[in-house]
Amino acid sequence: MPEKRAKTSKKKAAVKPKVSSASKRAAGTKAKKAPEKAIEFPKGFIWGTSVCSHQAEGHNTHSDWWTWEKLGKIDDGSVSGPAADMLNRYPEDFKLMEKLGYNAFRLSVEWARIEPRQGEYSEEALLHYENVLKEMRKRKLKVCLTLYHWVLPQWVSALGGWTNPKSVEWFGGFSRKVVERLYDYVDIWVTLNEPTAPAFAGYLAGVFPPEKKDLFLTARVFRNLLKAHVVSHDAIRDAASARGLERPPVGIAMAIAYFEPKDPSNPFDKKLHEFFRFAHNEAFLDAIHNGRVPVPFGVNDEIPGLKGSHTFVGVNYYTRFRIDLTNVLKGLPKNLEDMLYLPEGSELTEMGYEVYPPGFYNVLSEMSKYGVPMYITENGVSDGTDVQRPGHILRHLKQVHRAIGDGMDIRGYFHWSYVDNFEWKHGYSKRFGLVALEPGTLNRLPRKSAYLYGEIAKSGKISGSMVKKYAPEYESEIFD
């Protein structure tokens, strides 16, 4: 059957009005979306997380901290025990880091695990750390390895710890053993983590083992830790030389707070803060920079091999310190935090630290005076609810980006911490982890902030959509 013809309408089709070229261009301009706001970090920037192995591995049974914990010294009554069980679950953790998009990890080796008795090195422990670093390589994670993070073998502690002049020799032997075994797997070396903490907390304030309060011993520990840095640096340098390589990135990770006078017009207030800034932030780094032990920890005497024995500064930033003179006059407090000026309405963390992102820029600026690159080796917040952490990450990374934009040589950022773990004297009551632990199982539960940090790490930038998704209340602060 032939197809029927469609009837032709007698009505004229409507004539479309002509549109000028200028109008077309204007319409096209209106249709284009404005580019999304973003702050971008340099290509090759390192995005990592951090832990201390005593806090995360668990069962560091031959250490001074393990012994001290058993004496009931921890605030919440806990002991480190299995901690986060990274001793056994590290393959799972590295797989998760890779999935989340992180590209580096900072961890420590435990001296007490490797040399549980004087002169006896555990092949099992050395093989464990070798396997750990190989697994990191498999997951394409850069390795930042710390040789000393506050914990000593019990046998070292029993012989006087860092007050014993031989402690430098003992640490040198341990360092060489570790470096010889693990050198080929490590990208960045940290010889000592926050060396002033065991000196000041252990020998001045008496709140860490061995609970001494002695200025003379504090100075001795300070000096021996400088020498310990030298012997471990030399072990790393020599390993590189034996392989025909240049010295790799090697430095220390320092706790750097921003010290700001409550009343800058008060000369005494200003001088007090200058002293604390020097003792807390600068004295150890000054010594490494110029090779001499500063007063009051020495008499400007030289330590052979110390000058220039680092290629970077590791910055651990958490807070601003404004000391309240009225608190000081009440009597010597147990710790520095008891001396602080924290007016009503201050934003605080679960640790009682003031949240002050601009101080991050300020300390990076101060540390740039040493003329070497910087890594952010720690920055984070205790926040078990994960309400504060997303904004904390974004606001602090904004300050890192600002510092880079002003010409500061910052190579990478390691968030503290990867997972909830044993927070020293606070036990398990403080939670710094991007990843939570399920009670009873220790199963890994990534928090919202873990995914935010992963998006930043994968893209190398903070975008407007990230801020709107995770912490919209800080949009104007991030993109001002």
Question: Does residue 40 fall inside a structural domain?
Answer: no
Residue 443 inside a domain? The answer is yes
Q: Which residue pairs from 128-137 have beta carbons closer than 8 angstroms and sit at least 24 positions apart in sequence?
A: 128/87, 129/178, 129/181, 129/182, 130/181, 130/182, 130/185, 132/90, 132/107, 133/182, 133/185, 133/186, 134/185, 135/90, 135/91, 135/94, 136/94, 136/105, 136/185, 137/185
The per-residue pLDDT for 30 is 54
pLDDT at position 14 is 43
The three state secondary structure string of 343-399 is CCCCCECCCCCECCCHHHHHHHHHHHHHCCCEEEEECCCCCCCCCCHHHHHHHHHHH
Higher pLDDT, 327 or 166: 166
pLDDT band at 139 (very low <50, low <70, confident <90, very high): very high
Domain-embedded: residue 37: no
Q: Which domain holds residue 445?
A: 45-478
CATH no. for residue 203? 3.20.20.80
Residue 362 has pLDDT above 50, yes or no: yes
Domain membership of residue 441 (yes or no) is yes
Q: Would you say residue 456 lies in a domain?
A: yes
- On whether residue 137 sits in a domain, the answer given is yes
**60 occurs within a structural domain:** yes
- Mean per-residue pLDDT, 214-218: 97
Domain for residue 211, yes or no?
yes
Q: pLDDT tens for residues 251-297?
A: 999 999 999 999 999 999 999 999 999 999 999 999 999 999 999 99
Give yes or no for residue 67 having a pLDDT over 70.
Answer: yes
Question: Can you say whether the dihedral through the CA atoms of 456, 461, 465, 468 is positive or negative?
Answer: positive
Total domains, the chain: 1
